[in-house]
Structure formats: structure tokens, C-alpha cells
Structure 1
Amino acid sequence: MPPTTMPTLEWNDALSLDLPSMDDTHREFITLLALVEEATDATIAQHWCDLIDHTEAHFGQEDRWMAATCFATGNCHTTQHRVVLDTLREASRLVASGEHGPALLRKLTTELGEWFAQHAQSMDAALALHLRRVGYDPVTGALRMPEALPEALIEGCGSGACSTPA
């Protein structure tokens, strides 16, 4: 039986990063997250799989943008993507094997919504700012200002608080 509460996360202006490609993907993520929350016990596993499929493409897209604009492959943003996807996949495996029931997915959905809001407003916001600063077009992959790329690879998430000092 699905909960009768409001979705953990709803799209709002605070999540908008002024980068349409990223914002559209984030809206879709939030919609899929809500479908998991609203799902019945009989349908939650399929909605979870749909969320995983979206998240693989979503994170892969951001990881490609980072690679194209001088983020190191081991940066903390990419690492968070890997950890979250591993967690989503493992939860799916545990439910499919019968080791856990739908309650696990419901709990993780709440935690995922909380994590995502923080991630979008910090790491994704820093990435969106970086992409705008270097003139990167996420749709075409064109780089209008290659001279604005950093001289060294970005090791952190791109924010001043996380980047490795030079």
C-alpha cells in the first residue's frame, strides 16, 4: 500500500539551475521519484527500475559534461553518482531476491529525495555555473570559450569549498 503523503520532493525555483538541459532532466527525475512513492507494492519494483534507468542516463550525461570541461574522472561529483547508482541497483537486487520488501524502496526513496535536493543545489549548481562560464552547450557539446577551461583538472565538485587547492 503506497503512503498517502505528499511527494518527498517537488520541483521548485530553488532547484532551477538556469541550464535547461539539466533542469529538464532534474524535473524528470523528480517525477519518477514521485511515481515510486505513489506506487503500490505490486508496481513499486518496476517504477524503481524506471528510476534507475533514468538515473543511469542522467548521471552519465552529467559525467560526460564534466569530462568534456576538465573535471577529473575521480572528482567527488562523479563519485557521488557512482555511489548512488550502486545503492539503487543493490536495493533493486535485494527486493528482486526477496531479501527485502517494498518498504526498503520506500525508505530509500525518501532518502534519495533528500539527497537529491542537496546534490542539485550544491554539486549540480557548481557544474551548471562551470558549464556557463566555459560556454559549454550541453545539447551540442560545443565549447564556445575553450580559453576559459581551467589549466588543471578539477578534482573536487567544482565548488570553492570542495575543489583541491592549487
Structure 2
Amino acid sequence: MQALNWTPALWLDFEPMDAMNRDFMALLGRAQEASDDTLVAAWQALVAHAARHFGTEDTWMQQEAFATAEQHTLEHRVVLNLLREGLVQAQGGDQAPVRQMAAELGAWFSRHTQSLDAALALHMRRATPSRAATD
């Protein structure tokens, strides 16, 4: 399992995204460490956060007519659907898929943040310079 540590490589210099990313990492860490009794609740919190997090980014991309929005939004949709499917399975008593997703999600998150999110953060800093400091 990839250890989840906030590193300078994940910093995007756009605080609204950085805050959401730190929260995502914290929730994923809780899910990874959850006992069998607390896994469903931890995963549910991660799924709820991911839905808000991805929705916020998708809205920004739509508002800004961001060039690679379609690819970025599609990736959000696929990952969120997988997270939700895992939740249903865990709620039904099969925790193995969620444990596997929790183990692999950190690597995906790092790649996503350093590529797609980094490009969006750069665009947002340029499009709304005052927003980076106030949100």
C-alpha cells in the first residue's frame, strides 16, 4: 500500500484544490487504517468527499471552458463510480474490494494530482488570481 504523505510534489499552489486534496488524502488514510467495524463508515465519508471534490473541479472546468475538461471529468466519473460500487459491496458484507481499492487509490491520486489537477490549478491561478489566495 502506498503511504499517504503530503509532499511538495502534491502542492498545486491553488489553495482551494490543495485543501480538497489534503482532505481526500486524510479520508483515504482513515479508510486504509479502518477496522472491519469502521470500514463502511470510513469509505462512505471518502465517497461523499470525492463526490463534492470532483464536482467542484468539474464545475470549475465547465465555467472556465478548460481545454482538457472532458478527459479530467471522465476520470472523476470512472473513479467515483468505482468508489460507489465498492461501498455497495462493503455494505453487503464484502470488504475485500474496498480494501483493494484503498490500497491502490493512493497511487492513482498522486498521478491524478500531479497531472490533471496540476494543469487545472495552473489554469485557475491564471484565470482567477485573487481566488487562489481567498478560497
| TM-score, normalization by structure 1 | 0.74
Equivalent residue, structure 2, for 1:82: 77
Q: Distance in 1 between matches of 2:67 and 2:96?
A: 37
Q: Which moved more, 1:77-86 or 1:128-137?
A: 128-137
Structure 1 residues 55 and 139, CA, compared in 2 at 3 Å: closer, same or farther?
A: farther
| TM-score, normalization by structure 2 | 0.90
Equivalent residue, structure 2, for 1:129: 122
For the aligned residues, what is the CA RMSD?
2.2
The structure whose residues are more often helix, as a share, is: 2
Q: Distance in 2 between matches of 1:139 and 1:91?
A: 36
User: Any residues of structure 2 matched to 1:3-152 within 5 Å, and which?
Assistant: 8-71=3-66, 75-98=70-93, 100=94, 102-135=95-128, 137=131
The residue matched to 1:75 in structure 2 has which SS? Answer: helix
Q: Deviations over 1:118-159 (max 9, x none)?
A: 000000000001112222636989xxxxxxxxxxxxxxxxxx
Q: Relative contact order (C-alpha < 8 Å, sep 6+): which is higher?
A: 2
The residue matched to 1:8 in structure 2 has which SS? Answer: coil
**Number of equivalenced pairs:** 134
Q: State the percentage of identical aligned residues.
A: 45
Structure 1 residues 16 and 52, CA, compared in 2 at 3 Å: closer, same or farther?
A: same
Unaligned runs of 5+ in 1: 142-166
The one-letter code sitting in structure 1 at the alignment partner of 2:124 is: L
Q: Distance in 2 between matches of 1:67 and 1:139?
A: 21
The residue matched to 2:77 in structure 1 has which SS? Answer: helix
Structure 1 residues 73 and 97, CA, compared in 2 at 3 Å: closer, same or farther?
A: farther
Q: Deviations over 1:51-84 (max 9, x none)?
A: 0010000000100110110037961000000000
Contact 1:8/1:114, CA 8 A, preserved across alignment: no
Q: Deviations over 1:94-122 (max 9, x none)?
A: 12123x2x232121012111100000000
Equivalent residue, structure 2, for 1:154: none
The one-letter code sitting in structure 2 at the alignment partner of 1:125 is: A
Which is greater in Rg? 1
Q: Distance in 1 between matches of 2:59 and 2:3?
A: 28
Q: Distance in 2 between matches of 1:89 and 1:75?
A: 21
